[in-house]
Structure 1
Amino acid sequence: MRHIYRCPLRWSDMDAYGHVNNAIFLRYLEEARIDFTSLRGAESKQGSVVARHEIDYRRQLVHRPTPVDIELWVTEIKAASFTVSYEVKDADAIYVTARTVVVPFDFERQRPRRITEGEREFLQRYTDEAAEEAVAA
């Protein structure tokens, strides 16, 4: 299963050339990730930090009144990190593909932590493997 976030475009996202500035895409990915993780609910003093971003810019995205879709899914789950993949797109164009390595973090102790069993179960539902199992059932 994939999560879809409808990301609004803002005038302030544009650069001098009239398209979404490349650096703004990081904020779009963050908004999609926050929307995705909010589906599970918050845990007290628990959260996550980003360890790595990889972004491939495919096409310019210009301002318009309609949102752009960000499709998000989990591609890897390890003991103390997981990888989220994204497509920023419309029905007829992909503007960006990206990956983010996310590390669960204990803010009270100020250190990385392992993924809990509940988190693993939640993340597993958003893998391509889970989607294939649903189709086969």
Structure 2
Amino acid sequence: MARHIYHCPLRWSDMDAFGHVNNAVFVRYLEEARIDFMFRLAPGDGSPSFQGGSVVARHEIDYKRPLVHRHEPVIIESWVTKIGAASLTISYEIKDPGEGGQVYVSASTIVVPFDLAAGRPRRITAEEKAFLQKYVDDGTLGAGAERAAA
């Protein structure tokens, strides 16, 4: 099982009055990682996969500890925990680099592919499903599963 790795810089404007990343900013960090995963890494050269639009149906976020301003980026690991006919669930950890890095946030997002022209959800294509399956970890492999940086 592979995990998508995104290096996310912390910006001064991300901080709140207490000097740590504002809780709402973490949603933007997740968005950056998700877009990087789904669009930049979409399969095939010139493939239309994931580019017809998608909407977020749900976010779940567990804030583990405050993240204070620093110059080093955090790592956002993303992987797929569920693929349905017309939705997928992406899970994330926002953490320090390196094995055993401190986790600041654990989260998941349900994403629904969307046909913007028709104004309605659409099914996941075979090409999209094949791409997503490389990143599936439903929790049954255990903590020792190999992780590949994408």
TM-score w.r.t. the length of structure 1 is 0.91
Tell me how far 1:47 sits from its aligned partner.
1.7
Partner of 2:64: 58
Structure holding more helix per residue: 1
The reply on whether 1:109 has 2:109 as its aligned counterpart is: no
C-alpha distance in 2 between matches for 1:2 and 1:57: 21
The reply on whether 1:80 has 2:80 as its aligned counterpart is: no
Percent identity, aligned pairs only, is 67
Partner of 1:124: 133
Tell me how far 1:43 sits from its aligned partner.
2.1
C-alpha distance in 1 between matches for 2:83 and 2:90: 9
Q: Where do 5+ consecutive residues of structure 1 fail to align?
A: none
C-alpha distance in 1 between matches for 2:109 and 2:137: 16
Partner of 1:40: 42
Higher relative contact order (CA 8 A, sep 6+): 2
Q: What's the CA shift string for 1:20-41, capped at 9, x where partnerless?
A: 0000000000000000012116
Partner of 1:67: 73
Please, what is the CA RMSD of the aligned residues? 1.9
Total equivalences in the alignment: 133
